[in-house]
Chain A
Amino acid sequence: MIPNKSCMIAIAAAIVAILFYSPPAYAYLDPGTGSMILQGIIGALAALAVVLKIYWHRVMLLLGIRKDTRTNQQDGSGKLN
């Protein structure tokens, strides 16, 4: 039985997909449920710390205590560091 053109295309696509599909080789390790949840919490705290830092800087600017130096440090370094 000779497959028709659309069938051939489907088969070719399937072969290409199988050859080039890379499933996530990411995690073979068990990351630990507790550890993942903790990271979520720490991450949220770190993000909050960054916001607070910006907010604090703005307050100080407003009060004229600090000058506007326009720094762009968004590397996530906050109170947890």
Chain B
Amino acid sequence: MNQEDSQLYQPHQASFRDPSGFIFSHQGKVYRQVNMPYRAHYDHLMKSGLYDALKEKNWLVAHEEVDIPAQGMDAYKVLLPSQIFFTSYPYEWSFSQLKDAALRTLDIQKLSLEYGMCLKDASAYNIQFEEGTPTLIDTLSLALYEEGRPWVAYRQFCQHFLAPLALMAKTDIRLSQLLKIHIDGIPLDLSSGLLPKRSWLNFRLLMHLHLQAKMQKAFSRTDEGDRNGSRRPSKLSKNGLLGIINSLRNSIQKLDWQPTGTEWAQYYQATNYSDSSFENKSRIVAGFLKLAAPEVVWDLGANTGYFTRLANALGAAAIAFDVDPAAVEINYRMLKEKKEKYPLPLVMDLTNPTPGLGWSCTERDSLIKRGPADCVMALALIHHLAISNNVPLERIADFLSLLGRNLIIEFVPKSDSQVRRLLQSRNDIFDFYSKDHFEKSFSAYFSIVRIEAVAGSERTLYLMKRIARKQ
């Protein structure tokens, strides 16, 4: 393949472990190449009716077979899958999002067995939330089922799903962040050690986590006698496998976490708006959104997604980011209850946003790399960054200009009661924190299109458009 051709086909940074095929980009679209080793499995998937069954339920990403030239001698087919709206990662999901992704994986596994197929991997990165529902995006995960073989993905499932969920529910919700450090799921021995002693009384957690951790350790030692691999392979009947799947499903179904008691959960009850000023704010934001007419909106510090839903109502596909897992959880539960397709709620700490992770630091994209959005909303946010986190206004402007082409931002002055509360117990070193300085700092990165004061409050809303960066 000459230089020109190789530039047209960009293999995806995260797709290299499975010899069955891989993902690549070509002219702005993402494709999946299917290789010969997977041929029999793919044909069965398509002919047996499993693909249709999964597609109908929206459990598996739909695809078309296309005629573009493949790469390498090993190619069988090229597929054009339905394009994903936004790639999110398990360490950005709330408790129920990870739980639903886990249950969906098990349901897909159960259904596949009815058609003589089985999941050969069970990674949380194979699930994406498309239009509000967890969807399997790796078509090549489905392989022909060989009765008698244990489930090869059982360990992976427990590390990616069961262990983090148990830790979030029983130890601390923040432990989902361990998924950032351990990119193949949280190791079972670590999970076992962090879970409360009471979890040993839970029969299913005892088997799938504690006991499995012990067995992993016991059999990882390479004794002299076993060096030649003479161990007889374990057998697992189909009913045994179904028993394990049901057991895992029940275990996960019973795990629960209530989003109360965190700092932000009762936020909207205790805000700084009179009802009419809240209405004014909504009206102004809606006006700005209509002007900017974005297709994709990132709502930063979205809390439970009130303004994100405003963007959705005006025709944008929106993502609601918030640092508080409780707010994201409430947002997601609302999404499910109302059967909405958007927004996509995600956990994100803007002072330490998701970095590039995995192989070569590019396997899992950073937040910045997944942008820019057409429009970023930063409502009731700036004082948390500038005052609580001591970030200079220039740097906030710089960062926001990386994330979006347009910006709707609310300036919250020192006279505001929220800011007064933040300054209560600390020295006021924020001489720079003023409306004038705010406008000056942001003008280096944006041109200010509209300014409107929110009647009934001390705050001001701005609509800004990103300009070329001054070097």
**Chain A residues packing against B (C-beta within 8 Å):** 22-29, 31-40, 42-44, 46-47, 49-50, 74-78, 80-81
A-B contact count (CB 8 A): 138
Residue of A nearest to B153 (CB): A29
| Residues in A whose Cβ lies below 8 Å from that of B270 | none
Q: Please provide the 5 A-B residue pairs with the shortest distance between their CB atoms, ordered closest to farther.
A: A43-B240, A46-B243, A40-B234, A34-B215, A76-B239
| Residues in B whose Cβ lies below 8 Å from that of A35 | 150, 154-155, 158, 212, 215-216
User: Within 8 Å of chain A (Cβ to Cβ): is B280?
Assistant: no
Partner of A81, one of B17, B150, B234, B246: B246
Do A76 and B241 touch across chains, with their CB atoms under 8 A apart? yes
Partner of B240, one of A26, A28, A33, A76: A76
CA distance A64 to B264 in the complex (A): 60
Most buried by A among B41, B231, B235, B243: B243
A29-B153, A47-B237 given; A34·B219 CB < 8 A: yes
**Chain B residues packing against A (C-beta within 8 Å):** 17-20, 35-41, 120-121, 143-144, 146, 150-156, 158, 203-204, 207, 211-212, 214-220, 231, 233-244, 246-247, 250
Partner of A36, one of B17, B146, B156, B233: B233
Residue of A nearest to B41 (CB): A25
Do A42 and B207 touch across chains, with their CB atoms under 8 A apart? yes
A23-B37, A25-B38, A26-B143 given; A43·B150 CB < 8 A: yes
Min distance, Cβ A77 to any Cβ of chain B, angstroms:
5
19 contacts between A and B (CB under 8 A): A22-B36, A25-B37, A25-B41, A26-B120, A28-B19, A29-B121, A32-B219, A34-B215, A37-B219, A39-B234, A39-B240, A39-B241, A42-B240, A43-B244, A50-B239, A76-B241, A77-B243, A80-B207, A81-B247
